Amino acid sequence: MSLSSVPKIVETRELDNKRWLVRALLLSAVLTILFTKVYLTIFVIDLGVGIYSILTSFVLFNILFISYFRYKDPYFKVFNKKIPEHELPLVSIVVPVKNEENDITSCVQSCIDQTYKKKEIIVINDGSTDNTGAILDDIKNANPSANLRIVHLKESVGKKKAIEVASKIAKGEIYAFMDSDCDMAHDATEKAVQLFYWDKQLGAVTGHGRVKNRHTGGFRDHFLEKLQDVYADGACRAQKGMESVYASVTCCAGSLSFYRRDAIQDFIPQWARDRFLGMEFKFATDRRMTAHVLSTRPPAISYSSKNQNQAAVPVLNGEGYASESVFSENPGNSESESDGKKVVNGYWKVMYSQSIRVNIGVPPTLESLIKQQIRWRKSFIRSLFAAGGIFWKRPFYVALLYYLQTSMKFIRPYIVASTVVFLPLMGDYITPVVWFAGVLFTGMIYAVDFRLRNPGDRNWLYRPFFTLLSTYVYTWLLIYGAITIKKTGWR
């Protein structure tokens, strides 16, 4: 299949003028609150809480401003370009699965139904004890023409080692890794191929996730899933959008991410056997892999073809960008040069595309959600020794925001404890009230942002609830995760 079938008309404008005006008002509100917090910190509230609150608004303003005015979906630059039929790369879609009998059919079927035809699908059944194995065999028998391979492992080896098994038999130039409780949009692979083909320094790209049951039932039905949906949408569009401006996304989500084979193939065995604190570390799957891509450089000449003339990695300039594209295709073509102007210190780019969509499965109960969040905190702690040690090599401003946000995560438990317990005991009730109002304000800013991008979607109402959950519950899980980091149970 040629990618000449990509639609020639794509809506590249995210919002109309009226909603752009509301965005500007949101930023004005955040800026006003920021200056108000400065005044309150000097004259009214506790100094430590005040400074932390100021930093919160500073980070929020930067995330929104950069993602609003500087982020452009990289797919929009290449959607109407044609890839020659003989140069279409093979994509290896890899799905590790364990005990997902309820979701695995829709997951694998979404892989089979991809509009991009030059693909192989490798499903690793990681020692499932339910009906997952039988369901996979039925899918294989029902789709004899699909390039689908099912590998049944007798014993569970974990997600990373299951992916390693797939990597030993995969032949694709591009990997797609997807969680088994997710299903990707039918054109996700096609769009990813466009990005990788036209940007030779792109090492990885992650997509935009929305929760499966986000519109099921009434307000209280699937409440936690709807909380997670509105958060996932904002985390992708705001946080990853901001990071993507600098081609430095910090975490390619396990729900669906694409990697160039050259960027990760040699690292997969080490990643699968990652050790931390003297033991094999089963977590940090997504962040650890992303950190590797962020910290390595592409070959000087890679992915060459008969009609491409590619240059080697250039010398850095003072701003952390190269003056020309690392891979300058057809040097006389000004359009190709302008598309690759901002390369990242000669390292692989890691991007986010809002156009690559995936429906994700999330924990439906509070117990399962807390367990997931503990695993993620352990992964975050492990990733500090990977991404934290190399992120200073990325562009300055995104590195500044990364280290600032990371530091604030460790300070937050003290701030929350102060506003909930210590300060009220000392007779200071104003600071806790101001802090709580600031938390709700942040939730409402993200809620309005969600509604602007998703008109008619009532899930925006859940965003303040998620902010309260994140502030007063998730905050403590980082401490618990650090204390129990040697416990490697997955569920």
* Dihedral pair phi/psi, residue 433, rounded to 5°: -65, -45
298, 203 in Cβ contact below 8 A? Answer: yes
* One-letter amino acid of 142: A
Q: How far apart are CA 357 and CA 283, in angstroms?
A: 25
Which of left, alpha, beta for 99 (phi over 0: left; psi -120 to 50: alpha)? left
- The domain defined by 87-300+349-393 folds into Spore Coat Polysaccharide Biosynthesis Protein SpsA; Chain A (3.90.550)
Q: How far apart are CA 229 and CA 236, in angstroms?
A: 11
pLDDT in single tens digits along all 491 residues of the chain: 444 444 445 666 788 889 999 999 999 999 999 999 999 999 999 999 999 999 999 999 999 999 999 999 999 999 999 999 999 999 999 999 999 999 999 999 999 999 999 999 999 999 999 999 999 999 999 999 999 999 999 999 999 999 999 999 999 999 999 999 999 999 999 999 999 999 999 999 999 999 998 999 888 899 999 999 999 999 999 999 999 999 999 999 999 999 999 999 999 999 999 988 888 888 768 999 999 999 999 986 444 333 333 333 333 333 333 333 333 333 333 333 334 445 577 899 999 999 999 999 999 999 999 999 999 999 898 888 888 888 999 999 999 999 999 999 999 999 999 999 999 999 999 999 999 999 999 999 999 999 999 999 999 999 999 999 999 999 999 999 999 988 766 44
Q: Which residue has the tokens 């109309």?
A: 16
Helix H or strand E encompassing 91: strand 91-97
CA 180 to chain centre: 17
DSSP symbols for 277-298: TTEE----HHHHHHHHHHH---
Reference 397, options 204, 248, 288, 238; nearest CA is 248
Q: Where are the beta strands (DSSP E) in 183-254?
A: 183-184, 202-211
Q: How far apart are CA 171 and CA 176, in angstroms?
A: 12
Q: How far apart are CA 50 and CA 30, in angstroms?
A: 15
pTM for this predicted structure: 0.88
Query: Domain coordinates of the chain in residue numbers?
Result: 87-300+349-393
Those residues with Cβ within 8 angstroms of residue 378's Cβ, 6 or more apart along the chain or in another chain: 283, 284, 481, 484, 485
